[in-house]
Structure 1
Amino acid sequence: MDIKTLYDANINNITVAKNAYDALFTAFGQHIESWQHEVVDRLTNSHWTGTASGHAHARIQFLGTELQAAKQELGLISKALSDAAEGIAAAQSHLISALDDAKTNKMTVAPDGRITWDNDPNSANYAGDKADATAQAISARITAALTEADHADQTISARLGHLSTNATNGTGLDAATAKSDQDAANALSRIPAAGTDPNSVKTWWNSLTDAQQQRMILTDHDKVGALDGIPAVARNQANLINLQRGKEDLQRQLDGLGPEPKKYLSVAEANGGAAQNPAYTEWKRKYDALKDKLKGVDAIEDRLSKPVDADHPPTYLLGFDTKGTGRAIIAVNNPDTADNVSTYVPGTGARVGASLAGDIERSDLMVASANAANKKAGDPSTTSSITWVGYEAPQSIVPEAAWDGFAKAAEKDLHNFETGLRATHEGKASNNTILAHSYGTTTVGYTLRDKGLPVDNVVLIASPGAGVEHARDLGVDPSHVFAAQGDKDAIKFALPEDPDNAVSNIVNNAAAEFGYTDNPDHHVAFGRDPSVPQFGARIIPTDPGTDHSGYWAKNSASLIAMGQAIAGKPIS
């Protein structure tokens, strides 16, 4: 698609063709009704019997089925032409808008898209001192419009080509074929159900024109934003709407709580003793939860609104809702175009709340660390790090984090998300890493063990166990499994849910600590400690004094090593 072709495209001609098919569809339907009345009904009422009659009735019934199938196919051609007109018109509008802005800014756009302007400050046609940046922005818009038109052209051409082939070879007269074609057309306006295979979702999304995609984003933003297999840019657009709606809903709930009740009951109300007011206790619980979620929303908005610079690459909101403890998926850099893609899964306490700001910052730090590793190696590769608070994480160490139910419940969602990253990635396959901290490593380990993940590297930081005895049990090359545990990290004392196993762990680990056994199992809460040699992972170095939250300290050995692992570089 080129500028002149799109600019000169006569959308009215497509509309005229669509209207002609509508007229043909109506006339064909009327002919079928006439045939039914004049032929089928007369024959049925003729009382003709016998072998010849049976054959005639069967043939006529078959012919009626063929006519209905043909009518259905005609209707599908009309719908395809309608979608074509909408898609090309939208792209044409975007192109004209860009060209008008170029003219307003005293720039000339050549047929091949090159933009020129007058650089002489003394000239009446001087384009200004920011002309270069303006030209780049307009050029990007022109390219996007042409890409949009090309996508619409290819999508509609494929649909019309299929229907044309059906008409040519007669398969369009088959009722099953017509039904299949109708189902496919209907599917274009139906968003796949949550949990649908991301590769199928991507195929469906690609079958829509850009105009149809934008309509889906605006009308079904809650579904589009949560669906794995839809590209990052589209999910971000949908989730920005979800974020705003979610924030408004949280504020409405907060306002709906009403004024703060009195904190304590009177002596009379408490039957002679001082007591906290139950109404206040419940009000305060709800108030604190809503305020905390609003802090999480603020953290997302703050990061999304930061000007793009070396320390703050562009961000994409890949998921958001406020149900339960809330879900938020924030990507630093676009994972669909990055060479290295890392998903960071936080652990206990992860939620849409005040803690979210720190989790997002960790992704920023890991991107910077991976960039430093690439720069040192002379590698121009790009990196995206995604903070995945896409599950209900435990919110307390005891009792919640001692239970593996949160990890098991997250398996399907994490598997689908990682599969979706593969489905939507553009060009050469990216080098994908799943990196987790604390209980997040249990979530990741269980998913790898039970469902598998399409990742190249696994990084387990401060793990209470990943549900397996050895790195090879994760389904990834053990040489690409990394683990770290700081010398001041109390996670090494994490006890299992089963008290009998807890006693065994304590005895065995103590024996290993003091050299009383040559074959320690080093079990923690959910399996063997990934940071011990027996597990078989490659060890990420940590600085002396590293505690449970200290792995992301700037310039720390652990942060440097995480960046190297994400970038696919040797750990130094």
Structure 2
Amino acid sequence: MSDPGGRGDTFCGINPEALQGTINSLKRDAGRLRGSATGFKTRFDQLGIDTLPLTKLLHVASWADDQLPMLRRRHHLAVLIDKGADPVLHYPNCPDMIMVDDADVSADPPKVSDVPDGSDPKLNADWWGALTPGMRAELTFLYPDRIGALDGLPSTVRDEANRTALSKEKGQLNAKLNKLRKDLAATKAIPPSNVDDVGGAIGGDPAYELQNKIDAVQSKLSGIAAVEQGLAKGDHGGFPHAYLLGFDTHKLGHAIVSFGDPDTADDTVTYVPGLGSKLAGAEGDISRASALWQSSNQQAPNKHVASIYWLGYDAPQLAANSHGADVASESDANAGAPLLRRFTQGLTAARAVSSPVHTVVLGHSYGSLVTGRAAVHGKGKLADDLIFVGSPGVGVDRASDLHVDPSHVWAGANSHDPVPDLPGPDPFEDLGGNASSFGTNPASTAFGGHVFQADQDPSNSFSSVDLDAHSSYWDSHSESLDNLAKITVGDYGDVTEAPQIPSDVPTSPTLVGPGVL
């Protein structure tokens, strides 16, 4: 449609409803024209009559067919822009006409190779900012998984893309599950030689292999359901919108969920979970992020807070017959550290307001090692404040080694939590009471940061050593959660400091077992 404001023949916008009518009419009329011209041509040939005019009519029908892809793309772009996150521009004299850049519909459709590799959040942000609204909408529609994974893009864009990717993945997995179940039902009965002592199929049998595939698909679907349940808290019960900033089902799955928009927040806190974390258990960890948002909002109701759950790395898992040795390694933390730093850089690159933001990264359990490694990975500070709870060590021996002022390093350890006192690799260092599995205990005097009160409410006391204490830091109305919120919103003076751990006394008896990191 030409500009109603007087720009003549310049293409400038689309009325989606009217264009859809044109597409339907052109397709219908081209078909009728082709059918009639073909019929008459056959009869004219039989009668020896010149068919050149009919051939020209067939060319007209072919021309109409050739226009349909371009028209459909223009219509598609207009609909995407109308439904997208970017503001939609309408002409004052034609409110039903959506502005579409002619360059969008004149160019070839974008290819997946047009999307950056994602390694540089600032470059991602600049690339996205240079695109027209139509190109953004089409890229998000065509490649939601790639767009949703780009650190540095606006939260609204990543949320839309990742929700689309989640829905698409869910549909594909359900279709795959249905097919596998049909294949299993069609499989012949398991021969007696392939049945174990309790009647189950053993390796090598087709039914056994199919059941393993079914279990793997069901695990991924359980992870998707966990994310959906976590997201459902957003926009209800006083909570802000929950943004899905990352999602995939690769390996054990990954998800990033933010309560509140980090692009405009006054304070952002990124929570990094630890051992055993995976997509299928995301709901509980997402609840921790929502609990911290709620407590922070109560602490500073006039501030906008974004509380983020970040499972953007492959957390170590503990096998049922393991005694902890398989996770006494820094390899997963070393792999996850650059991903965490890139994510925090992306939050900076995506800022939509000029006002300063206060940033916090909170590492729990093995996630504190990931946070510590990220803090020393690359240049500059990872965040304004670093918090470690239930930490087996953060990979360094002093708060001053974390590229941030030690006055902005915080640690909390429930006295019944065994993880901060897990033995380190050097038994002679352990004798001093300061060593943890991965360096000096950050909740000890020797580390040099702040130690805040993180014990549970006495009315819900633990035994001397209780693994439940390792998950108590987000308990409702606990002093630990209150202190986490106070640090998040920068109310440092209200943080309750804990008595410093003497250099020769461990915080609790040591214990190594499933689920403690």
Give the TM-score normalised by structure 2. 0.69
Contact 1:401 1:439 in 2 (8 A): no
Alignment partners' CA distance in 1, 2:179 and 2:252: 19
Alignment partners' CA distance in 2, 1:304 and 1:270: 43
**118, 123, 137: which one aligns with 1:200:** 123
Deviation at 1:489, TM superposition (A): 1.0
What's the counterpart of residue 549 of structure 1?
A: 471
Q: Residue by residue, what CA displacement relative to the aligned partner does 1:320-378 show, whole Å, maximum 9, x if unpaired?
A: 1111111111111111011101111111111111x100011011001011112214xxx
Alignment partners' CA distance in 1, 2:368 and 2:348: 21
Matched residue of 2:453: which SS? coil
Matched residue of 1:420: which SS? helix
Deviation at 1:94, TM superposition (A): 5.3
| 1:371 pairs with 2:297 | yes
Alignment partners' CA distance in 2, 1:541 and 1:262: 61
Matched residue of 1:298: which SS? helix
What's the counterpart of residue 309 of structure 2?
A: 387
| Closer/same/farther in 2, CA of residues 96 and 237 from structure 1, 3 Å limit | farther
Matched residue of 1:257: which SS? helix
Deviation at 1:211, TM superposition (A): 2.1
Contact 1:402 1:495 in 2 (8 A): no
What pairs up with 1:239-250 in 2 under 5 angstroms? 239-250=162-173
Alignment partners' CA distance in 2, 1:556 and 1:402: 30
Alignment partners' CA distance in 2, 1:235 and 1:395: 28
Alignment partners' CA distance in 2, 1:543 and 1:566: 19
Contact 2:452 2:483 in 1 (8 A): yes
Matched positions, count? 405
Deviation at 1:438, TM superposition (A): 0.7
Between Structure 1 and Structure 2, which shows a larger proportion of helix residues?
Answer: 1
Q: Residue by residue, what CA displacement relative to the aligned partner does 1:30-74 show, whole Å, maximum 9, x if unpaired?
A: xxxxxxxxxxxxxxxxxxxxxxxxxxxxxxxxxxxxxxxxxxxxx
Equivalent residue letter for 1:295: S
| Closer/same/farther in 2, CA of residues 450 and 252 from structure 1, 3 Å limit | same
Q: Residue by residue, what CA displacement relative to the aligned partner does 1:496-540 show, whole Å, maximum 9, x if unpaired?
A: 5xxxxx3x33x543x345xxxxxxxx2222111111111112112
Alignment partners' CA distance in 1, 2:452 and 2:190: 52
| Closer/same/farther in 2, CA of residues 269 and 409 from structure 1, 3 Å limit | closer
Contact 1:465 1:526 in 2 (8 A): yes
| 1:336 pairs with 2:263 | yes
**448, 453, 459: which one aligns with 1:536:** 448
| Closer/same/farther in 2, CA of residues 203 and 487 from structure 1, 3 Å limit | same
Deviation at 1:471, TM superposition (A): 0.8
What's the counterpart of residue 524 of structure 1?
A: 436
What's the counterpart of residue 250 of structure 2?
A: 323
Deviation at 1:482, TM superposition (A): 0.8
Alignment partners' CA distance in 2, 1:562 and 1:273: 50
Alignment partners' CA distance in 2, 1:441 and 1:97: 58
Matched residue of 2:306: which SS? strand
| 1:14 pairs with 2:10 | yes
Equivalent residue letter for 1:531: A
Alignment partners' CA distance in 1, 2:197 and 2:110: 68
Matched residue of 2:244: which SS? strand
Alignment partners' CA distance in 2, 1:264 and 1:189: 45
Equivalent residue letter for 2:400: R
Alignment partners' CA distance in 1, 2:395 and 2:473: 22
Alignment partners' CA distance in 1, 2:286 and 2:90: 34
| Closer/same/farther in 2, CA of residues 291 and 187 from structure 1, 3 Å limit | closer
Alignment partners' CA distance in 1, 2:119 and 2:4: 40
**218, 224, 244: which one aligns with 2:147:** 224
Report the aligned-residue RMSD: 3.9
What's the counterpart of residue 464 of structure 1?
A: 392
| 1:303 pairs with 2:230 | yes
Matched residue of 1:551: which SS? helix
Instruction: Specify every segment of 5 or more residues in structure 2 that has no aligned partner in the other structure, as ranges.
Output: 13-73, 457-461, 463-467, 497-517
| Closer/same/farther in 2, CA of residues 10 and 245 from structure 1, 3 Å limit | farther
Q: Residue by residue, what CA displacement relative to the aligned partner does 1:133-180 show, whole Å, maximum 9, x if unpaired?
A: xxxxxxxxxxxx9xx97xx99xx9xxxxxxxxxxxxxxxxxxxxxxxx
Contact 1:465 1:529 in 2 (8 A): yes
